[in-house]
Structure 1
Amino acid sequence: MMFTSGLFQRKRLITDQQEELLNELRGLIMRLRAAFERFGADTDPSDVRTLNDILEHLDELFLIVVAGEFNAGKSSFLNALLGTQVLPEGVTPTTDTITLLQYGEEVASELRTNGLRVHTYPADVLRQLNIVDTPGTNAVIRQHEQLTREFIPRADIVLFATSADRPFTESERNFLALIKEWGKKIVIILNKIDILSPPELEQVLHFIRENARDLLGITPDIFPVSAREALRSRSTGGEEGEALWANSRFSAVEEYVVDHLDEETRVRLKLLSPLGVAQRLSSKYLQATEGLLETLREDLVTIENIEQQMTLYREDLKNDVQYYLNEIDVILRDLVDRGDYFFEEHIRISRLRDLMRGDLLRAAFEREVVGNVSEQIDQKMHTLIDWMVEKNLRLQQSNDEYIKRRASQHSNKIIGSVGGNFDYNRRTMLETVGRAASEVVASYDKEIESQILADDVRASVAATALAEVGAVGLGTLLVALFHTALLDVTGIMAATLVAAGGFALLPAKRRQAKKALRDRVGELRQQLRSSVMAQFEREVERSINQVHERNAPFTRFVRAQRGQLSDLQQGFADIDAGLERLRKEIG
């Protein structure tokens, strides 16, 4: 609900300085409205309406809003101020709509489609200002209270009526706290003082002052009146009328409205009123933006923790792969030691007949040197591969559980009474990441993954060593490679035996055989290490990339929101600072 600016014409002249302040205020409010648009779907629509209303209200006449509970005598107070029975009065709620009182040559009343009743009356006071009578805040029909609460932001000053028979009730205190939030100038009208004795009146005034100061932080102007006696005095006349007028103490509030609220004061309050509303809204959304940024900071910590887990994953892999490879090194060193012993025992004159039998030498080599090396190496490699698969699965599970915990904990982190678009998008992102991680974990077959990884490692070693890819296992593949070393040795022996003086060369050939075996095993060890490490590095990259890919939508959302909200935070902070500076200039 809002006034149409065409209803009112600006009937005041303001100074150049005031015009400059007015334009600056209008500019700050428009910047705030633009910030609301950037805030997007999280902006409360009622806040946008309020901001549009106060922009329009800048060009309207000074507006007094009379508020209070329905039996506080608001209508009788306004009738006394206008000097005649303009509004209906009664002990039950008589004001069922918000009524705008404005000047008009003829008495007229019109109910607008938006629920606003416009009442015109030829009272001089209405030439300079407009007055709004609101439904009681404790009216039986609760939408009256809602209408009143929505109308308060438009007021330049609020006259709050309370009754002498029930002063400053709990519901009145709650309503005044709401008005205070909007930064409004508040004046308290204590009505029906004719039912109190002078001592009782002083007691009630003291009670109101103390409570108002505690609630508002300042002691507002308080006018004790009897609207009923003031209105009676208008129609009585003579000495009796003068006595009623004096007893009503209405002249003080009339003087305040007509004389104290002069042009300069009204202009100042006219500026301060929308400024207070704008400050409340800018402060609200600054706090909301900071709350959202704090949530995003926690999200960034979540992302960083996941990255740390992946760093640890890399380190664990590197250390543990080395451990398993060192165990394979021990197997290979033992093989070399057995080979040295084998050559010492077999490459000698006493074994000449065996040396001449290459098939027997080869069988002895396989039995005494190679032995069950293939099974040992296969077992170590499969243990390593199973560990790798398990680490990968745990990485996926850790990401899954961590994201799910974050999704369940974030809902109460957001500060401010804004809408749910940010929260909804964020929750959707988190749930999507968690669901994707869960699906990966659920579909993980350790046996299949282990077999795939074992095949990849074997193929990598085979390709590097130029050996057969079809070998049964990695150990068998290595044994096949060792046999090439034996062939080298037997070839050396055959060449030696047919050469003149070959017997004298046996020690040298024994050393040559040992070296050939050691070199070949060393070469195979390096091939094995480089192939396994390369394969496992590819595997860890694949695992980490899976996590990155699933987390990417949420990570992008957090970073994009952080940039946008950081700009908004700075914008709201600048507007808030500009409004505060303007308040000091207005005074």
Structure 2
Amino acid sequence: MTPFLTGRKLLTERQEALLEAIRAALEALRAALRRFGVDVAPADVRILDDAIAHLDELFLLVVAGEYNSGKSSFINALIGAPVVAEGVTPTTDRITVLRYGDMPGEMVGGAFLVEYRFPAEVLRRMAIVDTPGTNAIIQRHEELTRDFIPRADLVLFVTSASQPFSASERSFLELIRDWGKKVVIIVNKADLLDDAGLAEVVAFVGRHAEDLFGVRPEIFAVSSRLARQARDDDDQALWDASRFPAIEQYISDTLDEEQRVRLKLLSPLGVARRLAERYLIAVEDRLAALRDDVAAIENIERQLEQFRSDLADDFQRHRAEIANILNEFELRGMQFFDETIRVSNLFHLARHQQEISEAFARDIVADVPQQIEARLQALIDWMVEKNLRIWQGVMDYLRRERAVQHRSGLIGEIGGTFEYNRNALIESVAREAEKIVATYDREAEAQALTDEVRAAIASSTLVGAGAVGIGALLVLLLHGALLDVTGVLVAGVLALGGLYIIPNKRRQIKRQFHQRVADLRETLTATMERQFNAELDRMITRIRDAIDPYTRFVYTQHDHLLTTQRELSDAEAEISRLQAEVERS
């Protein structure tokens, strides 16, 4: 069993079980925040660590309020001795923790914290904390108090009857509310008003407090000055006039052992819940940003796949057109052979091979190379233009993202490593895309692709093309289709006399010509398809490589944040469950 809260007794078994469950929930939240990474604010880590560390400590009653509200005088009246400094100007510049001790004594616990021991009966049941006044000219004073509030198990907020519930006080009470703390409001300096005026002030404070908290907190109007004087003079009438008996009774009776245990257990849960909610919002904000990134990456991928699909469709169309051109070329060639390779033309064939070859080139080959080259060039131009449009799409998206980041800045108040890395990657990829688009030379890209296609065709057909263009290369290939068969024709005719075999030879030549054109068609289209697909892969790979750091960051962070979101959600659910269980206890 763990010593806890009062110094008088141990926790019950049920309370002990709740305490350990709360400790486990807070540890789970700490693990989730650790997974979130370096962007967790160090102050939040410290707050959670403090909440865990103080689970076994005495009940902590924190007194807070503006510097001129009479906060320190209220504590002195409550303790029954001038243990903390008072004054009309800000006097408390450190957190002062008052604990029970048989002999008064001060222990410095740090630059901004001091512990004071005093033999007051109320300090046997709880530690009372005096905090620097808020809304003071010394900003550090308010920061100390704001930082300490998460450790409080109960906050007594002191406001002055002469200026109750000011705008700055409301702002500070919002902070207390957001940490899930129970608040009791002390309206001090009640002796400055008559009964009617005081009732009006208490009603005013009650209305605004209920509006802020959703429920009306306990409100006690007191005069710390009269209470101190009554204690000093041992004057019961003055003590009653100070209205202090009501707050004393609340602290001793209403705030009994069971209630203090409940508040002590609820306090770290309120802190943990706020942190869980805060970082869940941060995770969801980041996931929202990443969802846009994922959508953009998927859109780029769809464009790339559409690029591939469009090329396949466009290639099939151009392939069919080239096949038709070659089919017509073949038909003209067949007709040429029928009209040229005849018995009556035998001697002309033998003596005028050059003339026949020129006629074939002029009438049969004609502009076939130019037609095929035009189809290839159209496909090349389409690929080059499409590639540029995809780069422009990447660049435009990244430009928009940079503009959004410039307008919105970092998400929330949580550290910006995630945003910095994301923005740096967007900036890097955007610069690369802009550079490529700015220097994109359609003519040079098209010429490079043309040269690669020409070289591939020459290599596949074993034609030594040198530096000739695609059109000239096709002239060589198509004219070669005639030379392959006419050479055989002339040799065969001269060797065998020809008169009896010309019809058979013509059929043989036509078959060979058909096969030659078919081989050419297959080689040409297969080479083109292979080359264009290789070029497409190169273009797509270049785009993917350029955005790969950004893509990897997005998907890695997305998976990481989904895991963190699940852990934070589980922690929040367990914290909420424990809060409900403690409330029922």
TM-score > 0.5, shorter chain as reference: yes
Alignment partner of 2:110: what SS? coil
Matches within 5 A, 1:561-580: 561-580=557-576
Alignment partner of 1:158: what SS? strand
Q: Residue 366 of structure 1 aligns to which amino acid in structure 2? A: A
| Corresponding position: 1:181 with 2:175 | no
2:386 matched to which residue of 1? Answer: 391
Please point out which of 231, 243, 247 is paired with 1:249.
Answer: 243
Please point out which of 217, 230, 234 is paired with 2:214.
Answer: 217
Question: 1:416 deviation in Å?
Answer: 4.3
1:228 matched to which residue of 2? Answer: 225
Contact kept in structure 2, 1:285 and 1:416, CA below 8 Å:
no
Contact kept in structure 2, 1:296 and 1:558, CA below 8 Å:
yes
Contact kept in structure 1, 2:93 and 2:112, CA below 8 Å:
no
Q: Residue 275 of structure 1 aligns to which amino acid in structure 2? A: L
Contact kept in structure 2, 1:65 and 1:133, CA below 8 Å:
yes
Q: Which moved more, 1:410-419 or 1:302-311?
A: 410-419
Contact kept in structure 1, 2:6 and 2:124, CA below 8 Å:
no
- Report the Cα distance in structure 2 between the residues aligned to 1:145 and 1:139, rounded to whole angstroms: 7
Question: 1:44 deviation in Å?
Answer: 0.3
2:161 matched to which residue of 1? Answer: 164
Q: Residue 488 of structure 2 aligns to which amino acid in structure 1? A: G
- Report the Cα distance in structure 1 between the residues aligned to 2:258 and 2:119, rounded to whole angstroms: 24
2:482 matched to which residue of 1? Answer: 486
- Report the Cα distance in structure 2 between the residues aligned to 1:472 and 1:86, rounded to whole angstroms: 102
| Corresponding position: 1:269 with 2:258 | no
| Corresponding position: 1:402 with 2:397 | yes
Contact kept in structure 1, 2:280 and 2:569, CA below 8 Å:
yes
Distance 1:12 1:287, change over 3 A: farther
- Report the Cα distance in structure 2 between the residues aligned to 1:74 and 1:283, rounded to whole angstroms: 32
Alignment partner of 2:62: what SS? strand
Query: Once the two structures are aligned, what percentage of the paired residues are identical?
Result: 49
Please point out which of 138, 141, 154 is paired with 1:141.
Answer: 138
Question: 1:515 deviation in Å?
Answer: 4.5
- Report the Cα distance in structure 2 between the residues aligned to 1:350 and 1:267, rounded to whole angstroms: 123
1:461 matched to which residue of 2? Answer: 457
Q: Which moved more, 1:143-152 or 1:396-405?
A: 396-405
Q: Residue 295 of structure 1 aligns to which amino acid in structure 2? A: A
Question: 1:261 deviation in Å?
Answer: 1.8
| Corresponding position: 1:46 with 2:43 | yes
2:360 matched to which residue of 1? Answer: 365
- Report the Cα distance in structure 2 between the residues aligned to 1:30 and 1:10, rounded to whole angstroms: 26
Q: Residue 190 of structure 1 aligns to which amino acid in structure 2? A: V
- Report the Cα distance in structure 2 between the residues aligned to 1:491 and 1:463, rounded to whole angstroms: 25
1:551 matched to which residue of 2? Answer: 547
Alignment partner of 1:117: what SS? strand
Matches within 5 A, 1:254-403: 254-348=248-342, 351-357=345-351, 358-403=353-398
Contact kept in structure 2, 1:165 and 1:192, CA below 8 Å:
yes
- Report the Cα distance in structure 1 between the residues aligned to 2:374 and 2:85, rounded to whole angstroms: 99
Distance 1:364 1:471, change over 3 A: farther
- Report the Cα distance in structure 2 between the residues aligned to 1:474 and 1:569, rounded to whole angstroms: 59
Q: Residue 227 of structure 1 aligns to which amino acid in structure 2? A: S
- Report the Cα distance in structure 1 between the residues aligned to 2:71 and 2:467, rounded to whole angstroms: 100
- Report the Cα distance in structure 2 between the residues aligned to 1:463 and 1:416, rounded to whole angstroms: 61
- Report the Cα distance in structure 2 between the residues aligned to 1:179 and 1:429, rounded to whole angstroms: 39
Alignment partner of 2:97: what SS? strand
Question: 1:256 deviation in Å?
Answer: 0.9
Name the count of aligned residue pairs.
577
2:516 matched to which residue of 1? Answer: 520
| Corresponding position: 1:87 with 2:84 | yes
1:281-329 superposed Cα distances (whole Å, 9 cap, x missing partner): 1221122222222222222111101100101111222233334334434
Alignment partner of 1:100: what SS? strand
Please point out which of 433, 441, 456 is paired with 2:429.
Answer: 433
Question: 1:41 deviation in Å?
Answer: 0.8
Question: 1:63 deviation in Å?
Answer: 1.0
- Report the Cα distance in structure 1 between the residues aligned to 2:87 and 2:444, rounded to whole angstroms: 86
- Report the Cα distance in structure 1 between the residues aligned to 2:153 and 2:17, rounded to whole angstroms: 19
Q: Residue 291 of structure 1 aligns to which amino acid in structure 2? A: D
Contact kept in structure 2, 1:67 and 1:135, CA below 8 Å:
yes
- Report the Cα distance in structure 2 between the residues aligned to 1:194 and 1:76, rounded to whole angstroms: 14
1:3 matched to which residue of 2? Answer: none
- Report the Cα distance in structure 1 between the residues aligned to 2:241 and 2:183, rounded to whole angstroms: 24
1:511-556 superposed Cα distances (whole Å, 9 cap, x missing partner): 5544443432232122111110110000001111112222222222
Q: Residue 271 of structure 1 aligns to which amino acid in structure 2? A: L
Contact kept in structure 2, 1:497 and 1:503, CA below 8 Å:
no
Alignment partner of 1:65: what SS? strand
Q: Which moved more, 1:192-201 or 1:323-332?
A: 323-332
Q: Residue 192 of structure 1 aligns to which amino acid in structure 2? A: K
Question: 1:388 deviation in Å?
Answer: 2.4
State the TM-score, normalized to the length of structure 1. 0.91
- Report the Cα distance in structure 2 between the residues aligned to 1:495 and 1:532, rounded to whole angstroms: 36
Question: 1:18 deviation in Å?
Answer: 1.2
Matches within 5 A, 1:447-458: 447-458=443-454
2:58 matched to which residue of 1? Answer: 61
Q: Residue 477 of structure 1 aligns to which amino acid in structure 2? A: L
- Report the Cα distance in structure 1 between the residues aligned to 2:573 and 2:267, rounded to whole angstroms: 17
Contact kept in structure 2, 1:10 and 1:59, CA below 8 Å:
no
User: Which sections of structure 1, spanning at least 5 residues, go unmatched?
Assistant: 1-5
- Report the Cα distance in structure 1 between the residues aligned to 2:48 and 2:208, rounded to whole angstroms: 31
- Report the Cα distance in structure 1 between the residues aligned to 2:517 and 2:409, rounded to whole angstroms: 61
User: Which sections of structure 2, spanning at least 5 residues, go unmatched?
Assistant: none
Alignment partner of 1:42: what SS? coil
Alignment partner of 1:14: what SS? coil
- Report the Cα distance in structure 2 between the residues aligned to 1:429 and 1:180, rounded to whole angstroms: 39
- Report the Cα distance in structure 2 between the residues aligned to 1:281 and 1:119, rounded to whole angstroms: 31
Please point out which of 27, 31, 48 is paired with 2:28.
Answer: 31
- Report the Cα distance in structure 1 between the residues aligned to 2:454 and 2:361, rounded to whole angstroms: 22
- Report the Cα distance in structure 1 between the residues aligned to 2:561 and 2:481, rounded to whole angstroms: 69
Contact kept in structure 1, 2:7 and 2:124, CA below 8 Å:
no
Contact kept in structure 1, 2:39 and 2:416, CA below 8 Å:
yes
Question: 1:213 deviation in Å?
Answer: 0.9
Question: 1:33 deviation in Å?
Answer: 1.9
Contact kept in structure 2, 1:233 and 1:244, CA below 8 Å:
yes
Contact kept in structure 2, 1:287 and 1:415, CA below 8 Å:
no
Q: Which runs of 4+ in 1 moved over 6 A?
A: none
Alignment partner of 1:93: what SS? coil
Please point out which of 10, 15, 19 is paired with 1:13.
Answer: 10
- Report the Cα distance in structure 2 between the residues aligned to 1:553 and 1:9, rounded to whole angstroms: 57
